[in-house]
Amino acid sequence: MFLAQQNNDSPASDIYKWFAEDLSIILSGNHVIIGKEFAELLKNKQIKDELLSFLQAADFNISDITVRNIPYSTGSDPLDTSPRTVPMLFTSHKVYNDDGDLLGQAELPLTEESNGTKRILYIALVILDAQMHGNHRTILFDEFDSSLHPELARTLIQIFNSKENLNQFILTTQDVQLLDNPIRIDQIYLVDKNFQGVSDLKSVFDFSNPRTSGRLDVNLAKKYIEGKFGSMPVVDTEGLMDILQEIHKGTYNEKTKE
């Protein structure tokens, strides 16, 4: 496809452009990196104000965000002494005394914030970036609920599924309770693995009674836990306990020999 778009093949160019410009992927994990494009985005006062309002509405105590260019060295070439900088984000928090009086502001590098704070800030930046560029993007969240408070995760799903949203959100999660958010049954897919380890994607809509397919008040989490949709992991609890007991015995025997 890359070779085709390099040769100005129109369909290939459209596909390449979609992946490059209209698809955003938010990976799971603790290492959230705010790239240069988002640092540039925060130089726009309107965007910065929207981001701060978003964070404060989500109950994050961040009063300001500052972008600074921090010197760094690659260390790959000791003879290369040319100055290099990398944009880094710093968050400001209000500081109070024991009586509740405001003492001032304290600044903290984003790298030292909690994983939940870093993740929600990145999510907000992705949404605002899509808004700035006309929306109609596809935004994929891997392990959506990772490091997010359940109430905040539910609120975000309501925002994603609102009429005001013009982007497509695809979320992966293992939080069963998120199934009972106000979303349509045909929006929910489950992944099941067969004995060969091959994943199979299936819609909850296919398991539903046609009379209730459009309802939002069906307790899907309960049905899932009851095994009505399959996709439940088969965990050998007794086998795991036996393994732990064997490990304990082996450790105990080694210690007694000492």
Asked if residue 246 and residue 205 are part of one domain, the reply reads yes
Per-residue confidence (pLDDT) for residue 211, from 0 to 100: 42
Q: Which of 159, 174, 189 is the last residue of a domain?
A: 174
Residue whose structure tokens are 């130089």: 43
The two beta strands, 102-109 and 85-96, are antiparallel
Domains: count for the chain:
2
Residue 82: φ, ψ to 5°: -65, 140
Q: Which of 174, 190, 224 is the last residue of a domain?
A: 174
Asked if residue 114 and residue 55 are part of one domain, the reply reads yes
Is there a domain that residue 123 lies in? yes
Asked if residue 162 and residue 211 are part of one domain, the reply reads no
Asked if residue 123 and residue 144 are part of one domain, the reply reads yes
Q: What is the pLDDT of residues 78-94, one digit of tens each?
A: 666 666 788 888 999 99
Asked if residue 152 and residue 41 are part of one domain, the reply reads yes
Q: What's the rounded Cα separation, in Å, for the pair 145 and 115?
A: 12
Global pTM reads 0.73
Asked if residue 118 and residue 40 are part of one domain, the reply reads yes
Q: What is the pLDDT of residues 14-23, one digit of tens each?
A: 888 888 888 8
Helix (H, G, I), strand (E, B) or coil at 99: coil
Is there a domain that residue 71 lies in? no
Is there a domain that residue 231 lies in? yes
Asked if residue 59 and residue 141 are part of one domain, the reply reads yes
Asked if residue 257 and residue 160 are part of one domain, the reply reads no
Is there a domain that residue 77 lies in? no
Asked if residue 40 and residue 163 are part of one domain, the reply reads yes
Residue whose structure tokens are 């209730």: 212
Is there a domain that residue 90 lies in? no
Asked if residue 59 and residue 184 are part of one domain, the reply reads no
Is there a domain that residue 58 lies in? yes
Q: Which of 157, 174, 191 is the last residue of a domain?
A: 174
Is there a domain that residue 202 lies in? yes
Is there a domain that residue 99 lies in? no
Asked if residue 21 and residue 143 are part of one domain, the reply reads yes
Check: CB of residue 83 under 8 Å from CB of residue 71.
yes
Range of the domain at 215: 180-258
Per-residue pLDDT of the chain (258 residues; tens, 9 = 90+): 556 666 777 888 888 888 888 888 887 765 566 777 788 888 888 889 999 998 988 888 899 999 888 887 666 666 666 667 888 889 999 999 999 899 999 999 988 888 888 888 888 888 888 887 777 889 998 888 887 888 888 888 988 888 888 899 999 988 888 888 878 888 888 888 777 778 888 888 777 664 455 445 457 777 766 676 766 666 678 887 888 888 877 665 655 555
Asked if residue 186 and residue 168 are part of one domain, the reply reads no
Helix axes 45-57, 115-132, angle to 10 degrees: 130
Check: CB of residue 161 under 8 Å from CB of residue 183.
yes
